[in-house]
């Protein structure tokens, strides 16, 4: 351990075990599955890059559509429509560059899709395989979290957490980084984010994904009736994917802000270096 001084306060660096092995393994499996699901899902979406609400595709009034059109100069232009609003998105959405350098009409660009540029069948195989792997990994995580009390001890919101939400928001806005034991605990905003992912987004992703299969109408017909139809389920599924990606981006940004090397080490080896306030009578090195 080494001692440092910040103002009148003395601190020392301690290395502690932050994440246990099962959590670390499931975290990386989850990340791999999410990347594969997002890329293969976009490849499937590119077969018909539009979203609707209801039981059928109303081509004349989509909620979201990515189209290609020819401009006055004869070149292709990408246009993204959200409701009644239209935006030119050439190069990213609607029309983008292929691997051979040509500008081609496609919803999302080639670099964002897995496993290839246009194979719908291959995209579905990848999506279904990683979806089941993701579900199995998620079930293992939930079982482990219940058995180890990770869910009740580390993630469950307590009364003090609800009262601390305004303070946690203020600390995030000030980019305040906690020290000592506080750095090892999930703050209220982290807890709400993780609980939302586990108990809201994940079940929605599974239910809407399964309900898009006509073979499961007899099992999930009630769910389609609730959401308003198969096209509504597809739109919710796409929205859930976007929220998962938003969560991932924010998560990565917070890791970078908190110290990427230390954070990555804690998720690879479990070891986390934390600045700990020294108490009276402790000898530093």
Contacts 24+ apart (CB under 8 A), 222-229: 228/53, 228/54, 228/55, 229/53, 229/54, 229/55, 229/56
| Same domain flag for 222 and 172 | yes
| Same domain flag for 217 and 118 | yes
- Is residue 191 one of the residues assigned to a domain? yes
Residue 90 has pLDDT above 70, yes or no: yes
What is the total count of domains within the chain? 2
User: What's the average model confidence in pLDDT over 65-92?
Assistant: 88
The CATH number covering residue 242 comes to: 1.20.950.20
Last residue of some domain: 108, 141, 176? 108
- pLDDT of the residue at 285: 43
Residue 129 has pLDDT above 70, yes or no: yes
| Same domain flag for 52 and 75 | no
Residue indicated by tokens 């109408």: 217
| Same domain flag for 63 and 162 | no
Q: Which is more confidently placed, 70 or 78?
A: 78
Write the DSSP assignment of 180-232 as a string of letters: GGGGGSPPHHHHHHHHHIIIIIHHHHHHHHHHTSGGGHHHHHHHHHHHTSHHH
| Same domain flag for 172 and 78 | no
- Is residue 13 one of the residues assigned to a domain? yes
Last residue of some domain: 44, 75, 108? 108
3-state secondary structure of 16: strand
| Same domain flag for 225 and 125 | yes
Last residue of some domain: 69, 86, 108? 108
Residue 273 φ/ψ, nearest 5 degrees: -95, 120
| Same domain flag for 223 and 184 | yes
- Is residue 284 one of the residues assigned to a domain? no
| Same domain flag for 102 and 114 | no
- Is residue 238 one of the residues assigned to a domain? yes
| Chain centre distance of CA 277 | 34
| Host domain of residue 250 | 3-56+109-277
In this prediction, residue 9 has a pLDDT band, given cuts at 50, 70 and 90, of low
- Is residue 282 one of the residues assigned to a domain? no
117, 182, 184, 248, 263 from 195: Cα distances, Å: 35, 19, 18, 14, 21
| Same domain flag for 23 and 103 | no
- Is residue 283 one of the residues assigned to a domain? no
- pLDDT of the residue at 127: 95
d(CA 259, CA 281): 30
> pLDDT tens digits, residue range 224-272?
888 888 999 999 999 999 999 999 999 998 888 888 898 899 999 989 8
- Is residue 285 one of the residues assigned to a domain? no
| Same domain flag for 78 and 163 | no
- Is residue 89 one of the residues assigned to a domain? yes
| Same domain flag for 31 and 49 | yes
Lowest-confidence segment of 23-32, 63-72, 207-216, 276-285 by average pLDDT:
276-285
| Same domain flag for 85 and 197 | no
């Amino acid at each position: 351990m080494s001692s440092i001084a910040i103002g009148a306060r003395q601190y020392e660096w301690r290395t502690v075990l932050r994440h246990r092995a099962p959590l670390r393994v499931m975290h990386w499996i989850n990340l791999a599955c999410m990347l594969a699901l997002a890329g293969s899902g976009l490849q499937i979406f590119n077969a018909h890059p539009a979203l609707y609400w209801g039981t059928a595709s109303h081509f004349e009034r989509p909620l979201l559509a990515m189209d290609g059109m020819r401009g006055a100069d004869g070149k292709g232009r990408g246009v993204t429509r959200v409701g009644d609003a239209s935006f030119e998105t050439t190069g990213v959405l609607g029309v983008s560059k292929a691997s051979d350098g040509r500008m081609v009409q496609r919803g999302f660009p080639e670099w964002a899709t897995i496993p290839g540029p246009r194979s719908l069948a291959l995209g579905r195989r990848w999506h279904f395989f990683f979806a089941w792997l993701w579900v199995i990994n998620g079930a293992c995580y939930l079982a482990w979290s219940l058995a180890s009390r990770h869910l009740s001890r580390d993630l469950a919101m307590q009364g003090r957490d609800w009262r601390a939400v305004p303070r946690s928001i203020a600390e995030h806005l000030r980019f305040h980084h906690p020290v000592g034991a506080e750095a090892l605990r999930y703050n209220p905003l982290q807890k709400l984010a993780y609980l939302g992912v586990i108990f809201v987004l994940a079940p929605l992703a599974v239910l809407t994904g399964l309900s898009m299969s006509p073979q499961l109408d007899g099992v999930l017909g009630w769910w389609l009736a609730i959401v308003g139809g198969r096209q509504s389920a597809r739109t919710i599924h796409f929205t859930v994917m976007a929220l998962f990606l938003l969560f991932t981006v924010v998560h990565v940004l917070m890791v970078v802000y908190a110290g990427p090397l230390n954070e990555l080490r804690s998720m690879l080896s479990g070891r986390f270096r934390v600045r700990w306030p020294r108490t009276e009578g402790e000898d530093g090195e």
